[in-house]
Amino acid sequence: MKIIFFGTPLFAVPSLEKLLHHPEFEVLAVVTQPDKRRGRGSKLTPSPVKALAVEHQIPVWQPKRIKKHPETLSRLKQAQADAFVVVAYGQILSPEILQMPRLGCINGHGSILPEYRGAAPIQWCLYNGEKSTGITTMLMDAGMDTGPMLLKQSTPIGLLDHAINLAERLSSITADLLVETLIKLDRGDIQPTPQDDTQATYAPLIQPVYYRLDWSKSALALHNQVRGFFPNCVTPFREQALKISGTIPLGVKLPSELQELEQQWPTLSQLSGKQGEILHIVKRFGPVVQTGDGLLLLQEVKLAGKRTQSGWDFANGTRLASGEILS
């Protein structure tokens, strides 16, 4: 089966790897976003998908706007591919492109559709405290993740999962599910299922304003915000920006590796204070903060200009004391 792969970030790499090494597929070319300047030297850096394609000597096309790039459009037509496979490419495909391949354009989307259509499904499902998520493969149409569904696979979300490790798990699921989808679609073993638009929810692009922590929220809501927008959430601390990348909501059922902390809950539950106030420093864990509802332990933080460190090292290094306010 002749494939052209569309993808850009690390999330798409396992899918391309799987197709490159599978005997039933030939990847004719890769379409990815243009190189971007990154790092202190602003060096032009290829996308992770391009790096993999170059390693395997696969042709790479990088149109700035694919819908208005005649050369790329001509190449796509001439390729006569059986399918275009799209995983986190980053541009909307035109109806002209969608109609080119024999089997259509098959997308691996990071949610169980029709929930969390849009650019950031993994982040928003964590922010909303979902207990599970998954991958849906679908035939793309002109809408935003509105095409008929092909296959789905779910995975549970743990209390301490965050956007990066959940994305890693989902990227592996995507790779396997796309292979199964392509083979079954080619054999006629899948009946595409229309989405129920009345059940749709949306996952818009993440904006910097979402990173600010409001200590009037509940401990669980703040925890979900931190892991959903990992590792970028921030709060003021001693007139500096303190990034918080790991938290533990107290008073809920914790994973077995945190049993020691759970055993301290009867004592910690007696603490109370102002919103954003440091109430206590738990040995080997870190500071406990009063929220609008419940207590939140800061497990991993990063001061401006410093390295990421554990909450315990942070408390010791800054001589943090009970009564200080994050505000």
Q: How far is CA 180 from CA 128, 152, 189, 259, in A?
A: 30, 11, 10, 40
How high is the pLDDT of residue 270?
A: 96
- Give me the domains of the chain, ranges plus CATH numbers: 2-203 (3.40.50.170), 208-317 (3.10.25.10)
Concatenate the DSSP letters of all residues of 148-204 into one string.
PEEEEEEEE--TT--HHHHHHHHHHHHHHHHHHHHHHHHHT----B---GGG--EEP
Query: Known binding site for (6S)-5,6,7,8-tetrahydrofolate: residues?
Result: 111-114
What does the pLDDT look like over 162-201, one tens digit per residue?
999 999 999 999 999 999 999 999 999 999 999 999 999 9
What predicted TM-score, i.e. pTM, was given to this entire model? 0.94
3-state secondary structure 7-69: ECCHHHHHHHHHHHHCCCCEEEEEECCCCEEECCCCEEECCHHHHHHHHCCCCEECCCCHHHC
What does the pLDDT look like over 92-150, one tens digit per residue?
999 999 999 999 999 999 999 999 999 999 999 999 999 999 999 999 999 999 999 99
Q: How confident is the model at residue 301 (pLDDT cuts 50, 70, 90)?
A: very high
Query: Known binding site: residues?
Result: 111-114
Is 90 exceeded by the pLDDT of residue 72? yes
